[in-house]
């Protein structure tokens, strides 16, 4: 979606917010910056997904990813419910 700017398969209510989130992730210098936008509810996951981060996109949808050094990896758009 992001690299091709193709929102196919993404709920319309999430497209603009996802674009902003992905651009932010691309430009951020460190993970502490994630907490500067409270409405994203940034938090690290636990259990079997320990180390992954989650950002709130819409009521049911989250953007999840891992940070490997300065790289954002394993990006996924997930329906939590």
Domains of the chain (ranges, CATH numbers)? 41-81 (3.30.2310.20)
Sort residue 73 into left (φ over 0), alpha (ψ -120 to 50) or beta.
beta
Report yes or no on whether pTM surpasses 0.95. no
- Give the model confidence (pLDDT) of 21-45 as tens digits: 999 999 999 999 999 999 999 999 9
- Give the model confidence (pLDDT) of 44-81 as tens digits: 999 999 999 999 999 889 999 999 988 999 999 998 77
Residue 9 pLDDT greater than 80, yes or no: no
The total of other beta-carbon atoms located within 10 Å of residue 37's CB is 13
């Amino acid at each position: 979606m992001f690299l091709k700017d193709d929102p196919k398969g993404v709920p319309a209510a999430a497209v603009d917010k996802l674009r902003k989130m992905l651009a932010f992730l691309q430009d951020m210098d460190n993970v502490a910056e994630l907490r500067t936008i409270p409405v994203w509810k940034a938090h690290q996951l636990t259990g079997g997904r320990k180390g992954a981060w989650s950002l709130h996109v819409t009521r049911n949808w989250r953007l999840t990813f891992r940070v490997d050094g300065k790289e954002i990896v394993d990006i996924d758009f997930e329906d939590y419910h």
